[in-house]
Each structure stands twice: as structure tokens, then as C-alpha cells.
Structure 1
Amino acid sequence: MEATRGIRNNNPGNIRHGDNWDGLAKVQPDPAFCLFKTPEYGIRAMARVLTNYQRRHGIKTVRGIITRWAPPKENDTDAYVDHVAQVVGVDPDEPLVVTEVLPRLIPVIIKHENGQMPYSDDQIATGIRMATT
């Protein structure tokens, strides 16, 4: 399987340019999406965005998180919400503590964004740890 843009860019969450993220590659050839030095830095950025949804915006449900992450004008957000809620094992409108579900939430977002989830549990854990310490 050919790597998707998110995998090629070490940006499995398909995070757009806008913030000066730790771990950005010096050269940014993609005009829309960030290129990170390693997948762990891309996962770190995902974890930071997701935790900030709750901390800064009070978003604490799968429906709220995915609607902000993947707006309906660009995505089939309802299908995305259903997929994430099913894999994470929660109701789409159940309040969550985002930091507690990151290890389950990030892999399913990666899978949905890229059609694959090629990273190990250790890589996911490292990215989350980099974001939360």
C-alpha cells in the first residue's frame, strides 16, 4: 500500500500549517499540511490539539472532538464520529477525560485519516508522553 500524505509527512492527523510545532522539518514542501521530523512529533501535535479541545474549548465528547477535527464541509463527519465512538468504546455524546482516552483515540483517528495505522503502541505512547510532559 502506498503511503498516504499524512504518513509520508509524519503527520498522521493531517494537521494544517498554523502553529510553530515542535519537531517540524526545516523544509515544509507541502503548502497545506505540516511535515514533521518523525511520526512521534506528528502524534505529539495530535495529542496537543485534542487535549486543547477540552482545556481551551470545553469539548469533551467524541462528537464534539471529531466535528471540530473533521468539519462537515470537508468530511462525512457523522460516519467519522460513529467510527471513532465504536472503536473507543463510548457513546458519541458521553463526556470524556480526553487525556485518559488518547491511547485509544489517536490510533483510530490515524486509521480514519490515512486508511491505515502503521505505528506501534510505543510510538503512540511516546507521542502522547511528549505532548503531556
Structure 2
Amino acid sequence: MATPRGVRNNNPGNIDFNPRNAWQGQLGLEVGVAKPRFARFDEPENGIRALGKLLINYRCKDGMPGVGGKGIDTVLETISRWAPSSENDTQAYAEAVAKRLGVRPTDPISIQDPTTLRGLVVGIIVHENGGNPYPDQVIDEGVRRALA
């Protein structure tokens, strides 16, 4: 079985490449694919760090009317921003991640809580790559860097 694109790129969240984002450890646009789109990182910990940083930054963005509190503070709002419905079954994605966290998709969550952030990160990694190939210490280090 082929290694998933996000794992090959050390970018398990499949973050789009944007030259304006000078992510720690970012190597540039992915290589070896017909339509390059995603960023490449030097190591998975930095790809996970970028994933975590983006999720934390979403908190300050406008959320969905009638869902959660002010800003993006639910799994549904987070995943809707992360994986727009134009490309994904956002509802199913949010439900899978929320289940992993033990909350409903519309329950407010605290993204600054390391356990919550870790759960969201792992849920996204699993969804984007069909599983989580990383040992706990790699995930933990990426989340630690995101919160630093």
C-alpha cells in the first residue's frame, strides 16, 4: 500500500502550501505529484506543529451563526474551516473527530487545552491519511511545539 501523501510530505494535516506562511521546518511545495498543492516539512513534528498552530489561530476567526460561542470554538466549526464542504463531507469528518474527543460536534471545546488539541490533531491525521502512523512521542512533540 502506498504511503499517504500527507505522511510522505511530513504534513499529516495536508496543509496547502502558501509561500507567505514561513512555517518552522517548511521545505516548500510538495514534489513528485502531478498537481502539487500541499506544503512539505522537514519532519512530522513540524508538520504537526503547523497543523496545531492553524487550529489555535482559527479560534479568533468568525464561527458559524448559532453554533458554540464567539469565534470558532466547536469541532464542527473547526473542521468546517479546515476541510470545506466543497472538498469534503464536512459533517461526517466533524462527527468522527468529535467522537474521538468524546464531545458532540457543536459542543464548545478549549483548543488551548493540550489534551483537546492533541485529540483534534490525531482526528485530523486519521481522517486525512486513513490512519495515524506516528508514535505518541511524535504527536506529543508536535502538539507541544504548537502550544509553545
Structure 2 counterpart of 1:77, which letter? Answer: T
Kindly indicate whether structure 1 or structure 2 has the higher relative contact order, using CA contacts under 8 Å at least 6 residues apart.
1
What corresponds to 1:8 in structure 2? Answer: 8
Q: Matches of 2:82 and 2:29 in 1, distance apart?
A: 25
Greater Cα offset, 29-38 or 102-111: 29-38
1:129 aligns with 2:147: no
Q: CA RMSD, aligned part only?
A: 1.4
How far the C-alpha of 1:56 sits from its partner, in A, is: 4.4
Any gaps of 5 or more consecutive residues in structure 1? Answer: none
Q: Aligned-pair distance for 1:88?
A: 0.9
TM-score normalised by length of structure 2: 0.84
* Structure number having the greater helix percentage: 1
The structure where strand makes up a greater share of residues is 2
Structure of greater Rg: 2
CA drift at 1:28: 4.5
Contact 2:17/2:29 (8 A) holds in 1: no
Superposed displacement of residue 20, structure 1: 1.6
Counterpart Cα distance in 2 of 1:109 and 1:74: 15
Cα distance between partner residues in 1 of 2:88 and 2:107: 22
Distance 1:115 1:5 in 2: 11
Question: What SS does structure 2 have at the residue aligned with 1:131?
Answer: helix
* Aligned twin of 1:88: 101
Write the deviation string for residues 23-73 of structure 1: whole angstroms up to 9, x where unpaired. Answer: 012675263100000000000000000000113442010000000000000
Q: Which runs of 4+ in 1 moved over 4 A?
A: none
Flag structure 2 segments of 5+ consecutive residues without an equivalent. Answer: 63-70
- Aligned partner (choices 24, 33, 36) of residue 22 of structure 1: 24
Q: How much identity, in percent, do the aligned residues show?
A: 46
Letter in 1 for 2:25: G
